[in-house]
Structure 1
Amino acid sequence: MGHSCCVIGCHTKSHGRNGCKIDHDVRFFRFPTWKRGYGQQVGELTKRRRMAWVAAVRRKGITFDAISPFMRVCSRHFHKGEPAYEMMETDPDWAPSLHLGHTSVTPTNIARAARRSRREQLQKERWQAAEMGVRQDAKIEEVQTKEEPSEPDEINSHQPNGERTPDAGEESGQLQTKEGTHEAGEDHLITEAETHNTSQDVTQTECDLCVLRRAEVNRLLDENRELRRELNERRMSDDFFGEDDEKVKYYTGLPNLGTFMALFRFLMPLMPSQNKILTPFQMLLLTFMRLRLDLPAQHLAHLFRVSPKTVYRTFNEIVSFLYANLRRSIVWPDRDTLHTIMPHQFVEAFGHRVVVIIDCLEMFTEKPSNLKARAQMFSSYKHHHTLKYLIGITPKGAICFLSKGWGGRTNDKHITLNSGFLDNLLPGDIVLADRGFDIQECVGMLCAEVQLPEFTNGSCQLAARDVEETRKIAHLRTHVKRVTGNVCQKYKILTGTIPIKMILTCEGEEATMLDKVVTVCCALTNHCPTIV
């Protein structure tokens, strides 16, 4: 999906003006979300992070409560080229800080963050060692608890001065007590050394466990991201196209992702802001897929995980919405524009007088139940019930006129005279058309119509005055066939048999649903490169 960085002064884009992807290593990241369903701590942390990103970008249109899902921050504004894990608040890449286009937020210092991380790790290790030391001391005190010694026998012998004189037994007892105390002290020193070594071993074991746990958490996070990406692809989310232009071309008919995103950004503010089961992106994608591939409603219902009724309702709503906003792209160009974009083949043959090439786009329909409608729609040429649309194409290949639908029985001349096409012509204009458009006598001096010859049984029946004009335009008029064929080739919904309900007039409008579909398909074709 085409993205551009929203940071002030940063002009990094994923696609160029021509819609082609730019080959560079820059990545784009969304603003973090406020996770309110994961507990108070996670909610407060993610809220602070979202506020930090908004403050770092510092744009008027970006607030905490109003951030477009298409706003991105490129990897140039992070030290490591990507945001840090949301729980690592002390990481310098927890929020963008580089090249922000203002001085309100100073760039983070990687060295300072590393020192802080080391301090926290040392403090954690010391706390663990102290906790283990307390536990070991408690065990040692419990082991070293001994019975209290009994009181020595009282000796009744007294000295003459009334003082008690210790005998040899008492002296030996005192020596033994001192030696025992010394031995106990040595045992105590040995026990403390053993305790210290044991604490270091336990701390090392705890650190190894932390490393293993951290590795497992990172693995689970990567697996979670991958599963979310796969789930988004299956749900046809906003990241459905990724960066694949061929995927965009297959599902929408538009040439590349840049064109699709430009059209989506133009339409998104105009779309109704009602609560829908599908997002605006999914609603537009569903409509494009039905126009482009003519997929059944049941199949689309399985893809988007909705009911077939929701598919029908969404398709009708978005087609009407596109018809109201895109039909203005089918516009009759002014003469100065025609002179500027006129291909040299037309200039060599007719100067700058050719204005338009006309033909009828004819589509098969179901057999109506009404006898009058059945008679009006039956085409003796196609031997089927059809509906016709007069289509006008500029020499450059853009569709500049489209009439409403007419029954297949109506001839081309009647459609041309009654569709409002002639109101766009000026005196001296040249219109290229088939012989079936025999309107030159009706137009009079308004325009000069040039016709192709009629071939019968392989022999060319030409009037002398038609030979030179036929030679000039025989290879030019094929442009209209290429353009009409391109419309039907891009949007397969026009090549199948049209249901009767699509050719009924919409309530409160003059146009039918098929009129809207054909108009939208022609307007989208004008957004593609011309084939001329």
Structure 2
Amino acid sequence: MRAYMRLHARSAVLSRDKKRSFFEIPKRLRSPERRDRWLAAISSENEDRSHWSPVNSRAICSDHFVSGRPSKDALHPDYVPSIFPHRPHSLQKAEHSLKRYQRHEDTSSKRKCKQRLDFEETLSERNTATDLGVALLDEHTAQATDNDISTQTHETREQTLITNLHEEIQNLTQEKEEAIQHLDELKVRYKGVQLSSCVIKDNDAKSRFYTGLTWAVFLQTFNFFASHVSGRTKDSLASIDQFFITLVRLRLDLPFELISDIAACGETTVRDYFWKWIDVMYAKLSFLLKWPEKDAAAQTLPPEFKVLYPRLTGTVDCFEIFIENAGNLLARQQT
């Protein structure tokens, strides 16, 4: 099982651990829904990569709860364990959730207090109205005084409620901005590891390595071909990325399977893009291929080729293979 989980069997060892508390995973018979949520949060695996399911008397330590212990309130962040070292920012998210829960509880308690005070005021007004022993002048005076106090208290409560709502809005706005910033950072990281034209943008060294062209030449070449290619709105890759992976395939001879994995695109789709751009380059660059006349080719052939291949007019796909020099002098002479 993963090393970051502190799951232990119930035994005497638990009583010897004074720094942490351990809490048993909910039973399926008592709380099936809560047990499933705990197991989903833990999401542990066995050594054979199969899904781990706990047996009886399994527990989880207090380090995985932001308040140090689970809560029975379904709205509380510690209703399910949420802090795990292998999950980035899990502690910060749990602390944000706890603060938000506490603000919600404060707002609810204030709302209940307001309702209770309103009820007491209403009850007091009814008791005052039913008191027949009070003189008419005193009744009017007391009623006027109660109305002034009630008005001032009501205005104070409304002002407090408005202030709390503004604070809640500011906190939510800040959380939203942090989430958007984190999403933008993840997008930049994803583009950095994905095989696309962004890897070589404004970088001639990488552009030569991947395509054999500088970035300016690559961009001009793409613009020349792009004017003759009709793009589709449902394409998995942009047109410039399609042209880029085509040149990468020609330059580095990478398998289609590897390109599809790095470019986050299906293998069949990568093959279709490759042959589409090959057809476009053939249609627009075929005029550059000039085969020499037979007499001109015969004049440039090596003498050995003229003897062994008298009808040879050209050599296609000629390449060299560099090998290490042999230690034996005879073997080195033969190679």
Q: Which has the higher strand share?
A: 1
Q: Which category describes the TM-score, using the shorter chain as reference length?
A: 0.3 to 0.5
Structure showing greater relative contact order (alpha-carbon pairs closer than 8 Å, 6 or more residues apart): 1
Normalized against structure 2, the TM-score is what? 0.46
Normalized against structure 1, the TM-score is what? 0.31
Q: Which has the higher helix share?
A: 2
